[in-house]
Structure 1
Amino acid sequence: MTIQLQIVWLFVLAIPIACVAWTVTHEEVFREPREYCLRRSQEGRSLGERKFFYLFTCEYCFSHYVTVAFLFLTDYTLLLQDWRGYLLAGFSLVWVANIYMSLFGLIRMDLKRERTEIQVLEEKVEK
């Protein structure tokens, strides 16, 4: 695979990784399991238990595991075709996916702020 194609794969493959990681760690559909994991991460008896359950509440942490799954599914490597290529691909995918999630988070905050401002203005107009 050419380097150009590998770079395209890097930026495209990071999209579903970011989507899965964000959905599990932020969206309403996974709220109950996430709250359970949050409680277990705070109240767990052992360090291992607390850290294991924390992984499902942090998009950055969870994106590492989603990336490993996608590397297994796609057999994607970056620059090198051995274990080093998987390592480079893994950390690069996590990095790009987290940039995507950060941008998505900023956009959502901005949209929420705009909706709140519009609602306040509408309430003022009604009064």
Structure 2
Amino acid sequence: MFEHMEMIFILAIPVACIAWTVTKEEVFREIREFCVDKSSNCKKLYQRKFFYLFTCEYCFSHYVTILILLMTRYTLIYPDWRGYILAGFSIVWIANVYMSLYNLIRIDLKKQKIITQKEEKDLPS
């Protein structure tokens, strides 16, 4: 029953990578800013929610997970629709743990860089 359980941790990696890149990285900044504007200013609720999906890594990870599940046909525990549901929510959860860890590492690296720059600036010439 649990023969391919480790796959869930592997499938969560591209989900986390894609969701983070689209919602946080500079390469998609202009598109994201457009979506932020639309998610605030569209008159219809469904339009605001659609554009919001591209600004929130948690929300976007659900849609990336659906694509990954369609591509891989991965199921968890059950070989039918229940397995897709369990796999989907599990992958989203693991992907968001990965993204949280990545964010903590980035914050720590930025903090260390700032401290190092301050210390170098304060050194006597």
TM-score computed with the length of structure 1 as normaliser: 0.95
How far 1:126 moved relative to its partner? Answer: 4.7
Per-residue displacement from partner, 1:16-56 (whole Å, max 9, x unpaired)?
A: 10000000000010000000000000111111111110000
Q: Which residue of 1 aligns with 2:30?
A: 32
What secondary structure, in the 3-state scheme, does the structure 1 residue paired with 2:54 have?
coil
How many angstroms apart in 1 are the aligned matches of 2:115 and 2:47?
A: 42
Paired AA for residue 12 in structure 2: A
How many angstroms apart in 2 are the aligned matches of 1:3 and 1:66?
A: 24
**Out of 7, 10, 17, which is 1:9 matched to?**
7
Q: Indicate whether 1:81 and 2:76 are aligned.
A: no
How many angstroms apart in 1 are the aligned matches of 2:77 and 2:19?
A: 25
Q: Which residue of 2 aligns with 1:119?
A: 117
Structure 1 vs Structure 2: percent identity of aligned residues? 58
Per-residue displacement from partner, 1:55-114 (whole Å, max 9, x unpaired)?
A: 000000000000000000000000000000000000000000000000000000000000
Paired AA for residue 92 in structure 1: S
Unaligned runs of 5+ in 2: none
What secondary structure, in the 3-state scheme, does the structure 1 residue paired with 2:19 have?
helix
**Out of 94, 103, 106, which is 2:104 matched to?**
106
What secondary structure, in the 3-state scheme, does the structure 2 residue paired with 1:14 have?
helix
Please give the residue correspondences for 1:12-23 in structure 2 after superposition, counting only pairs within 5 Å.
12-23=10-21
How far 1:4 moved relative to its partner? Answer: 3.8
Instruction: Count residues with an aligned counterpart.
Output: 125
Unaligned runs of 5+ in 1: none
Decide which structure has greater helix share: 1
CA RMSD of aligned residues (A): 1.0
How many angstroms apart in 1 are the aligned matches of 2:50 and 2:63?
A: 12
How many angstroms apart in 1 are the aligned matches of 2:93 and 2:59?
A: 11
